[in-house]
Amino acid sequence: MSPRAISGGPKVVGSGDGSADVGDPRWVVRLKRLTGASSVSSERLDVAKGIFILLVCAGHLCEPFYKIQNKPTQAFMHVIYGFHVPAFVLISGYVSGDLNAKRRRALISGVVAPFLLLHVLFSVSYTKMFCEGDAFDAFERGDFGSATRGRPRCEFVNHWALLDKDHGAWDGWDRWTFAYPFAQLWYLVSLFTKRIWRPFALEMRWTLVVHVVLGVSIGYTTIGRFLSIHRSAVHMPYFLCGYLMKKHACFFPEARGGAGAACAAAGAAAVVGAALVATYRYNLRVEYWFQSDPHDAAYGAYWAYGALFQLILYAWTFFAMAIAFALIPGPASVGVRYPGEDDDGETAGLLSVHRGVSSEMVKNKKSTRRVGRYGRERDQTTFKARVYLRLAKWGSRTLYPFVLHIAVLMLLAKYTDWYEITWHKAGGNWEVTARFLLTLLLSVATVVLLSLKPTVGAFRWLLEPSLGVLYSPEVQRY
């Protein structure tokens, strides 16, 4: 990455047609012209978030079948884990703003407070559900006759536990810690770290290069999953790249025209083909994509090549992300209409033309523009456009399915027989594959349910608590 990405270098004055912005480095201008990259609409970004959170939930709900070596599940996970979490991190960087007073308070109420509350709730609940009881004690004594459903302590499905029974299980405040986030909550800790670190990172020359080097090198340490520091370091290049994409209005373009669609389809076929080869030819572990553990834990005897492997992962994830975003159309491509629009809908800028005021006068008045505002479903004339906007609305609420789907997973394992098959069938059994396919459908239903307004209203107190009482009225005015 050229240092001009940060320090500027030769500047190019915008041409006035949107192909280049004032202040863009020359290489950014060339990249825009080559790829057609530009800023991204709110709707397209939220549709992408909705799709990626669906893949996150599907990956977790289907992972129990991978743990017993079901090959179709393994191939599916190789496909999605190659891009969905890095893409989420990149989007988080794209939408992050400067940490002014209002955003600092939002970071506390929307990230720190939910983590503290949820870490306690999930850890205590999981311990009571899967780490305590006569069945677990009988299993550890080897007394299988007295407990036919005896299971290894803290494993909620066969060969998988969501916490370490020695460090993560609840055993009183004196032996318990916040330092190892429960399951998916690592992302909240990592997001907080990246938001705090970003201003320092942007002051560096060659900052992307510096953070790639840091990302490939941290695997030689033993930091591991402590406070998600390892993952934060590995994911920081994605986060910074997202922020710089916003700064230079240069997001992944959608596939346009026959040639673009053909290239995107070929890229998608390459991703799927690589996953099939990794699964059926080499039986590669999905855990390589997690990017959360030291090189010796991830790669075993090949730990010395960990930096090279991480560089390959960076290259592949950016390729897979480009393909995934190319397959997600913008609102104009699906026919979304904006009554009174002034910019073809791509930024959804709506003008409030008042009676007695000319449209030219309103256009020149920046305060009347609502950049980023959604189109309305009732204004659409096609079913496709209405579905697109509905998906965008659900995608704007991804915090709720992201946090709560693990609760669904735990409840399914504890109170239903949905995952009981993992204890009694081998991964190659057709019934396991059938259950995996049904779980994909269950994942869709779960994400939709957890994205609905009633769900958001019911859990807002927990995931977006109001902490205004902690701040003085004077502070809250800024």
In terms of domains, do 425 and 471 share one?
yes
The pLDDT value recorded for residue 19 is 43
> Is 88 a member of any domain?
yes
Q: Alpha-carbon distance 342 to 350, whole Å? A: 7
In terms of domains, do 280 and 361 share one?
no
Q: Alpha-carbon distance 392 to 389, whole Å? A: 5
Q: Alpha-carbon distance 113 to 408, whole Å? A: 22
Amino acid at the residue 108: I
In terms of domains, do 139 and 207 share one?
yes
- What residues make up the domain containing 26? 1-36
Instruction: Name the token pair of 12.
Output: 């190019």
In terms of domains, do 326 and 345 share one?
no
Provide the whole-model pTM: 0.86
> Is 134 a member of any domain?
yes
Q: Alpha-carbon distance 48 to 54, whole Å? A: 10
- Cα-Cα-Cα-Cα torsion 61, 67, 70, 71, nearest 10 degrees, comes to 100
> Is 2 a member of any domain?
yes
* Contact (CB, 8 A) for 446 and 202: no
In terms of domains, do 209 and 342 share one?
no
> Is 383 a member of any domain?
no
Count of domains forming the chain = 3
pLDDT per residue as tens, the chain (478 positions): 443 343 333 333 333 344 445 667 887 888 888 888 888 999 999 999 999 999 999 999 999 999 999 999 999 999 999 999 999 999 999 999 888 888 899 999 999 999 999 999 999 999 889 888 776 666 665 555 544 456 788 899 999 999 876 655 666 555 668 889 999 999 999 999 999 999 999 999 999 999 999 999 999 999 988 999 999 999 999 999 999 999 999 999 999 889 999 999 999 999 999 999 999 999 999 999 998 899 999 999 999 999 999 999 999 999 999 999 999 999 999 999 887 654 443 333 333 333 344 444 444 444 333 344 577 888 898 999 999 999 999 999 999 999 999 999 999 999 999 999 999 999 999 999 999 999 999 999 999 999 999 999 999 999 999 888 888 887 777 6
In terms of domains, do 343 and 209 share one?
no
The pLDDT value recorded for residue 143 is 58
Domain boundary among 347, 374, 401: 374
In terms of domains, do 350 and 289 share one?
no
In terms of domains, do 137 and 14 share one?
no
* Contact (CB, 8 A) for 154 and 161: yes
* Contact (CB, 8 A) for 56 and 402: yes
> Is 381 a member of any domain?
no
In terms of domains, do 4 and 153 share one?
no
Place of tokens 């993952």: 231
> Is 380 a member of any domain?
no
Amino acid at the residue 71: K
The pLDDT value recorded for residue 184 is 92
* Contact (CB, 8 A) for 43 and 331: yes
First CA to last CA distance, the chain:
37
In terms of domains, do 116 and 251 share one?
yes
The pLDDT value recorded for residue 386 is 94
Sign of torsion, CA 361 366 367 372? positive
Query: Over the range 437-447, which residues count as b (16 or more CB within 10 Å of their CB) and which as e?
Result: eebeebbeebb
* Contact (CB, 8 A) for 444 and 408: no
In terms of domains, do 368 and 416 share one?
no
In terms of domains, do 256 and 328 share one?
yes
The pLDDT value recorded for residue 5 is 41
> Is 379 a member of any domain?
no
> Is 369 a member of any domain?
yes
User: What are the residue ranges of helices labelled H in 170-228?
Assistant: 186-202, 207-217
